[in-house]
């Protein structure tokens, strides 16, 4: 990843680091985004007693750390490995993947303009990173809020073709909600009743999908830009199906919302 930020990180910030030197009671790393050296004391590697520090870290390994203390005068940055939780690790890893995707888009722009990638990346990042912290964050603004790269300060030569690439490669975020509908009916027209109920539910919104799982179970999913809209559409679709199925007294209708993993 090419991203480089100016200055020092903030205390509490989560950063990607590459292990450069492992010693008996400390680990030296290079903080990738800031291109600065940091140190992890053995007490900040893992909870509990550590017999061999190399069981946890090795030279060349990429690790996610939390910034504990900064002494700009001495140039010291103290980091912690053990204080980073799984959610923070996932979030930082996702952030890195997004920025790598942004860099690939800029690389496509450079190829399109027949200009050196390093030059184009510098032109783009020098404008965007001071304002947004990450190139991908600015690209999201283009997709989600119809922001203009030219208004962000990028010259027109880059802004127009880059916006086209961004809109092609990055799609708006969608909230996906799903659940399982279980239907049992002993009505004479039971098969037709269930079929029509599910068709009516699907027609509530074009983003709704319903498919058969087996044994009277059906999966229903809905997508929307906002959570509340997805929830409203899902509730409405399930309600429509339930009302129609339960119009026959010899029917059973159940719905279970699927929780996120």
Q: What digits encode the pLDDT tens for the residues 210-240?
A: 999 988 999 999 988 888 999 999 999 999 9
**What integer pLDDT is reported at residue 151 of this predicted model?**
94
- State the Cα–Cα distance between residues 108 and 117, nearest whole angstrom: 9
Residues in the chain: 261
Find the mean pLDDT for residues 1-22.
89
Classify 171 as helix, strand or coil.
coil
pLDDT value at 149 more than 70: yes
Instruction: Go through the domains of the chain in sequence order and give each one's CATH number.
Output: 14-83 (2.40.50.140), 87-169 (1.10.150.190), 175-257 (3.30.70.1130)
Q: Following DSSP, what letter does each residue of 98-112 receive, concatenated?
A: HHHHHHHHHHHHHHH
**Which tokens is 85 given?**
């939780």
pLDDT value at 261 more than 70: no
**What integer pLDDT is reported at residue 173 of this predicted model?**
81
Any idea what DSSP says for residue 182? Answer: E
Q: What digits encode the pLDDT tens for the residues 89-126?
A: 999 999 999 999 999 999 999 999 999 999 999 999 99
């Amino acid at each position: 990843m090419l991203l480089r930020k100016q200055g020092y990180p903030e205390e509490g910030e989560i950063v990607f680091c590459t292990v450069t030197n492992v010693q008996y009671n400390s680990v030296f790393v290079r903080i990738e985004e800031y291109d600065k050296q940091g140190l992890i004391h053995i007490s900040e590697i893992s909870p509990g007693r550590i017999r061999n520090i190399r069981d946890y870290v090795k030279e060349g390994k990429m690790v996610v750390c939390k910034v504990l203390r900064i002494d700009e005068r001495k140039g010291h940055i103290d980091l912690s490995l053990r204080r980073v939780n799984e959610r923070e690790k996932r979030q930082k890893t996702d952030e890195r993947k997004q920025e790598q995707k942004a860099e690939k888009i800029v690389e496509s722009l450079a190829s399109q303009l027949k200009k050196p990638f390093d030059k184009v990346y510098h032109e783009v990042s020098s404008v965007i990173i001071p304002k947004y912290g990450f190139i991908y964050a600015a690209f999201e603004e283009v997709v989600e809020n119809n922001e203009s790269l030219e208004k962000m300060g990028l010259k027109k030569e880059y802004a127009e073709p880059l916006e086209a690439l961004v809109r092609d490669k990055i799609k708006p975020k969608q909230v996906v909600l799903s659940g399982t509908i279980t239907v049992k009916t002993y009505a004479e027209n039971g098969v037709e009743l269930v079929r029509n109920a599910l068709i009516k539910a699907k027609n509530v919104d074009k983003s709704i999908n319903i498919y058969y799982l087996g044994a009277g179970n059906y999966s229903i999913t809905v997508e929307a830009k906002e959570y509340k809209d997805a929830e409203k559409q899902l509730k409405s679709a399930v309600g429509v199906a339930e009302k129609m199925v339960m119009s026959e007294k010899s029917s059973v209708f159940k719905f279970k919302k699927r929780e996120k993993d």
